[in-house]
A and B are shown apart, each in its own frame.
Chain A
């Protein structure tokens, strides 16, 4: 058969390089055990922003007080920040595998959360989650629960590297941004709480509901939050005046900024079960494969102490209807 089947053997091809790379990045998010799977790609960028801002919370004046940590950041509300997707690509290209470590030089993992662990039911997920799991009372026809998984609690302490931040700013040609002196060695503590990830599927659609108590980032006291947020926004690609305006208008202790690529998304403020939320709709890019399936809708909201993200390939109206039924 060896000679006869050459025409069949020649049909084999290597996967397109771009497609292989995008799929690998998608899978890597799962490996990292972060709840980013359903929040991506928007909250992955938000996490990078938080890391950047958090790393900048260090001045000579507060070095002496660094032992006294202030519970600084918990998510209470969301604000979309339009940005050029090319900037995020550039940040990824600088250090694709360890984007958050671009400004840290040491990381102590005090408690390893590990990968999400699949649970047999929503009720079973309540144990490792530490709370009664909310679920949608309404689902469009055909959608059914496929998987529920819980990511465990994690704790880490990070040390800031001023030299890495300078390198980052230089690589981005941000020559007008000053790096605060006395940055090296300042520490921030990150505490992530159990995250419940529900995946729903039908023949045509996917839907994921993520819920968790807000992660907490503890930082040294006495810092100029708007100033540091402004630097973080510059790193994201905003010009100086826009970064200053936005930074001055936000409550940096409770607002999660969600960077939204300007070329592929639209967003608007919404109300979910009486709570403020943010609805983001991503449009289909021209590419094929994994990217095409990422197109869809994400709605983010907080309710009490809990943060929710609902993402799916449904229309925005359907996603909102499902979100309203979560209880």
Chain B
């Protein structure tokens, strides 16, 4: 049984028909959060895109089993994304550098491009030094944009613990920035 199957098995019996969901709206709403979750979690570039694709394809493949009444779609999608990230690190594939940073600098001057790329590289390098749990908290907070309470609900940590851990991580990153 895969991690996703275990997740589905915990969900309740009543489901909504897959056809009743506006999947265009779901996609538009959730793509930026999942994509940025992976950018903060594993780094910018093609790996983040690949893992985002895997997450959505898993979710879409099993969308008939999505239970709206027990878990919000966002929570469910994030659970899949977290498992995909774990699988990614377990596979011990080499990390790619932040080489795609230039793609976000359209319309900038060469100086702006250089500065922004430098910042992205620096921050990417800093994030790569974080422990797995700390980096996941940063990804959920800044990549997805969740509140501390929502992060607590997903990770099983207390809300105050999430706040404390994030404060320490941000201060640490800030000091090295």
Contacts and interface: CB of A to CB of B under 8 A. Distances in A.
A12 interface: yes
Contacts of A12: 36, 39, 142-143, 145
A4 interface: yes
A26 interface: yes
A13 B39 contact: yes
Contact of A4 (B2, B19, B24, B170): B170
Instruction: Specify the main secondary structure of chain A where it touches its partner.
Output: mixed
A15 B123 CA distance: 18
Interface string A278-315: 00000000001110110000000000000000000000
Given A9-B142, A14-B32, A27-B60, A146 B65 contact: no
A198 B91 CA distance: 23
Contacts of A24: 24, 27
Name the residue in A5, A115, A203 with the highest tally of chain B Cβ atoms < 10 Å from its Cβ: A5
A15 B60 contact: no
Contact of A146 (B2, B44, B174): B2
B125 to A, nearest CB: 12
Interface string A10-36: 111111100110011011101100000
B39 A11 contact: yes
A104 B63 CA distance: 30
A99 interface: no
A289 B53 CA distance: 7
Contacts of A293: 50, 53
Name the residue in B32, B35, B143 with the highest tally of chain A Cβ atoms < 10 Å from its Cβ: B35
A203 B86 CA distance: 12
Nearest to A30: B60
Nearest to A29: B60
Contacts of B35: 13, 15
Interface in B50-68: 50, 52-53, 56-57, 60-65
B46 A288 contact: yes
A180 interface: no
A7 B177 contact: yes
A76 to B, nearest CB: 30
A27 B23 contact: yes
Interface string B144-158: 010000000000000
Contacts of A5: 142, 170, 174
A15 B142 contact: no
Interface string B82-117: 000001001100000000100110000000000000
A66 to B, nearest CB: 32
Contacts of B64: 115, 117-118
A29 B63 CA distance: 13
B49 A290 contact: yes
Contacts of A8: 123, 138, 142, 170, 173
A13 B61 contact: no
A31 B174 CA distance: 44
A147 interface: yes
B46 A118 contact: no
Contacts of B19: 114-115
A7 B174 contact: yes
Given A7-B177, A8-B170, A15-B52, A118 B62 contact: yes
B177 to A, nearest CB: 6
B57 A115 contact: no
A138 B61 CA distance: 25
A1 interface: yes
B167 interface: yes
Contacts of A28: 23
A27 B103 contact: no
Nearest to A120: B5
24 contacts: A5-B142, A5-B170, A7-B177, A10-B119, A12-B145, A13-B36, A13-B104, A15-B32, A20-B31, A23-B53, A27-B56, A27-B57, A27-B60, A31-B23, A115-B63, A118-B61, A118-B62, A147-B61, A147-B62, A199-B61, A204-B91, A288-B49, A289-B50, A290-B53
Given A1-B170, A118-B61, A289-B52, 14 more contacts: A1-B166, A7-B177, A8-B142, A11-B120, A11-B142, A19-B49, A30-B63, A114-B19, A118-B65, A149-B61, A199-B61, A203-B91, A290-B53, A293-B53
